[in-house]
Structure 1
Amino acid sequence: MRESRVLLPVFGLLGASTAWAADVDLTEFKASSPVPYYAAPSWSVVGSVTPNFTDNALFSRDNRKSDFYYEPDVSIRLDGNLTNDLTYRLYARAQYDAFATEKDGNAAVARMGARLTENWDGWRFSAIYEHRYDFDGVYRDLAFTSDDVMGSVTRDVHVNNVTLSPLLLLTYRFSDLAEARRWRFDAMLGIEVKLDPQWAIVSTPLIEAFWFTDGLNRGRQDQIYSADVGLKYNFASNVSLTTSVLYEARASNVQVRRYRDLRIGPRLDFAF
């Protein structure tokens, strides 16, 4: 652990938010089926498994290395209603990236959180608190802990066989590592075009902006732009497989933090 503590400032400067651009998942904010507020809370296990190919395993500007990686992402949730329009969620979530060759790219996160969502005229407004642990390696060395306070707004728009799901999300991160403290803004648009009951074309273009506030990262500003397209097959209402191609690029006022990345692979989503 002593070695890990020595590496913390370097990790904060070079890696705080390097990965996990995908840790905001639009499916987390999808509308749920209406449930009477007096109904008992329900437990569920929700997650995904993603084997991917990337041409930039270390999210580097110059030292680009291709590799395959495996990304499981599993949550345990307790969902309930306070009123007909106000819902809550308590959850614990584990997620990691494990690379076949470039082990320096391995990272993991564990988090616990709570969310309140108000449904108003088709819009969903959420307030979220999340306590998280970021690890260097697959749950090897604890890099830093943080507390994220978030607010979001989203809705679903249906036009014939097309569903559009815009989402705006604002986050501030408090952390025991100064370099990890920052504001983050996410704007994304979920697009699903149903071809038939089983098949759909999906895409989730997004823009993320980061403003770091403390430590060696003070004044750093990053922007991440991402676009993807995929083909989704629904095995059942709670199990689906999506094969997609994603391109991502990060701009930054710190030149060494800029990168581009191409990812290709299937994603199996499940909910029980």
Structure 2
Amino acid sequence: MRRSGFLLPIVGLLGASTARAADLDLTEFKASPIAPPYYSVPSYAAPSWSIVGSISPTFTDNALFTRDNRKPDVYYEPDVTVRLDGHLTNDLSYRLYARAQYEAFATEKDSNFAVARMGARLTENWDGWRFSAIYENRYDFDGVYRDLAFASNDVMGSVARDFRVNNATFSPLLLLTYRFSDLAEARRWRFDALLGIEVKLDSRWSIVSTPLFEAYWFTDGLNTGRQDQLYSADIGLKYNFASNVSLTTTVLYEARTSNVPLRRYRDVRIGPRLDFAF
């Protein structure tokens, strides 16, 4: 998952090539505003632009994400997405987006990486459930947009829903992905199951958590037959400055198991994250 330039030739064998939970932009799967009846508003079909993102300085006790040679460090992660949203019918919405994200470490520069992606999502709302089909063209870089490590095309399908119980919101999400890539070792199936939890304390403060399970099945190259599982649990305190700006301080524990012993690791991350949407 982390690599330096001299490791690129063997990234498929020793690099995880499987982004962490942070790779999932949970806001991508939030419910879209309900469209008005098709014939009631002349401007109904007009799409809307938005910019969403986050900035998060974070401490980790395993900057290299390895089983051995654990090193603590602090990294900085900007993550920005430009979106175009619209509706085809009352229940069928679409989203086109471009997203840029990188992690820059204070000391362990070999852990620096970046991702650039463009994608499209089509979502059907049915009886409170959201079914999405997603295509994403993705470029993974060694360093902060330094050298291209590999390019890939992700095809995804997801189902999600929000449940509200008093002052708590539970948002389960199931996501299945297959990655086509110019690097054989990066081709794989990925399954995500997570539960977004937000408990409002008052109009501004909330307790948040997103327990997560991920499973990977690699299909080609030196990674053929490799299977990884990732588990993470976190707890955070969120403060809403406004409806579109919030600050969340989180403690997260993550563990990866694998049938390749060198890919097993554990990690603790602590830090604030500023989220915004305009």
TM tier, smaller? over 0.9
Write the distance in 2 (CA, Å) between the matches of 1:142 and 1:194: 42
Aligned partner of 2:12 in structure 1 is 12
Say if 2:161 and 2:173, in contact at 8 Å, map to a contact too.
Answer: yes
Aligned partner of 1:154 in structure 2 is 160
Residues 29-80 of structure 1 show CA distances to partners (whole Å, capped at 9, x for unaligned) of 1112212352410000000001000000000101100000000000000000
- The residue identity in structure 2 corresponding to 1:103 is K
The secondary structure found in structure 1 opposite 2:76 is strand
* Pairing of 1:172-251 with structure 2 (within 5 A): 172-251=178-257
1:6 CA displacement: 7.5
Write the distance in 1 (CA, Å) between the matches of 2:132 and 2:239: 29
- The residue identity in structure 1 corresponding to 2:205 is W
Aligned partner of 1:252 in structure 2 is 258
Write the distance in 2 (CA, Å) between the matches of 1:84 and 1:50: 36
Which 5+ residue runs of structure 1 have no aligned equivalent?
A: none
Write the distance in 1 (CA, Å) between the matches of 2:159 and 2:25: 14
- The residue identity in structure 1 corresponding to 2:21 is A
Say if 2:11 and 2:17, in contact at 8 Å, map to a contact too.
Answer: no
The secondary structure found in structure 1 opposite 2:101 is strand
Aligned partner of 2:41 in structure 1 is none
* Structure 2 residue corresponding to 1:96, chosen from 102, 126, 129: 102
Say if 1:9 and 1:179, in contact at 8 Å, map to a contact too.
Answer: no
1:5 CA displacement: 8.9
* Aligned positions, number: 269
The secondary structure found in structure 1 opposite 2:46 is coil
Write the distance in 1 (CA, Å) between the matches of 2:24 and 2:82: 16
1:22 CA displacement: 1.6
1:12 CA displacement: 2.0
1:16 CA displacement: 3.8
Aligned partner of 1:133 in structure 2 is 139
Which 5+ residue runs of structure 2 have no aligned equivalent?
A: 39-43
Write the distance in 2 (CA, Å) between the matches of 1:16 and 1:126: 27
Give TM-score, length-normalised by structure 2: 0.94
- The residue identity in structure 1 corresponding to 2:138 is R
Aligned partner of 1:42 in structure 2 is 48
CA RMSD of aligned residues (A): 1.3
Q: Percent identity?
A: 83
Write the distance in 2 (CA, Å) between the matches of 1:90 and 1:205: 28
**Poorly superposed stretches of 4+, deviation over 4 Å:** 4-7
The secondary structure found in structure 2 opposite 1:10 is helix
1:230 CA displacement: 0.1
- The residue identity in structure 2 corresponding to 1:255 is P
1:11 CA displacement: 1.5
* Pairing of 1:67-146 with structure 2 (within 5 A): 67-146=73-152
* Structure 2 residue corresponding to 1:269, chosen from 262, 268, 275: 275
- The residue identity in structure 2 corresponding to 1:17 is S
